[in-house]
Structure 1
Amino acid sequence: MLHASCNCGGVSFRILEPLTEPSVCHCTQCRKQSGHVFASANVPKTAIRFLNAETLRWFQASDKVRRGFCQRCGCWLFWEPLQKDWTSVALGAIDGDTGLKLDRHIFVAEKGDYYDITDSLPQNAH
């Protein structure tokens, strides 16, 4: 079980099942919201138990996905497809070690021009 939280503690939660598919997203929305790229891993929605969700808010990013963040400190915590039974959890929100290794880069077709991807992980255009 992993514990995770935002900077101010307004959102804290436990992850009750193993996270899967850790990736780095280079899409325009992730870069704008995070300031660079977004590292996350997937888990079934039912495997997240909130200890505190007082300041959790959701932004409807498109007709297919929403993004969860803390309205007090601004930490971005989740990316969630509306029609699926899983959510992506920000790896940076996890308190302590994750035990994960990144699996791939996604949406590299939208990557910023100010950096290069220099590791040997697979790169998906979308």
Structure 2
Amino acid sequence: MSHQGRCNCGAIRFEVDGPLVEASACHCAQCRKQSGHVMAGADCHEDALHVEGTPRWYEASPLARRGFCPDCGCQLFWQAHGDSTISVNLGALDAPTGLRLEKHIYVADKGDYYTITDGLPQE
């Protein structure tokens, strides 16, 4: 199983050799501010992620960093410091992905301008 993806301008391309798991929509304030709404991602082992180009990493908090394209600004990755997994932004993947959201996370922090009505678990 493999997935390919890229940023908007194509300067960063990547492939995940292996499964993407725990597809989730994150409603935390950082993801909302970074994306303008909700971020959706799925996890893989960092050794399964092969990247062409050089993403720029932003130290988003003492807990994690975010990877993006330095040319077009496209959000691509999220990784907790010291973790061997990395989250790939689902919107950057080439279709079809074959993935489905499994849950919503940080819903207590979600924006007041929308509701979550899809029936998926909310954490």
Q: Would you call these one fold, judging by a TM-score over 0.5?
A: yes
Structure 1 equivalent of residue 53 of structure 2: 53
In 2, Cα distance between the equivalents of 1:103 and 1:3?
Answer: 20
How much does 1:97 deviate?
1.1
What is the Cα deviation at residue 45 of structure 1?
Answer: 0.3
Alignment length (residue pairs): 122
Deviations 1:57-112 (A, max 9, x none): 00001111000000111100001011210000000100111111110000001000
Equivalent position SS for 1:63: coil
| SS class of match (2:42) | strand
Q: Which runs of 4+ in 1 moved over 3 A?
A: none
| TM-score under structure 2 length normalisation | 0.97
Q: Secondary structure at the match of 2:23?
A: strand
Aligned-residue CA RMSD (Å): 0.7
Distance 2:83 2:94 in 1: 26
Q: Which residue of 1 aligns with 2:107?
A: 108
**Aligned position for 2:13:** 12
CA distance, structure 2, for counterparts of residue 62 and residue 28 of structure 1: 12
CA distance in 2, matches of 1:122, 1:96: 25
Aligned: 1:22 with 2:23: yes
Q: CA deviation at 1:44?
A: 0.3
* Cα distance in structure 2, aligned partners of 1:70 and 1:94: 14
Gaps of 5+ in 1: none
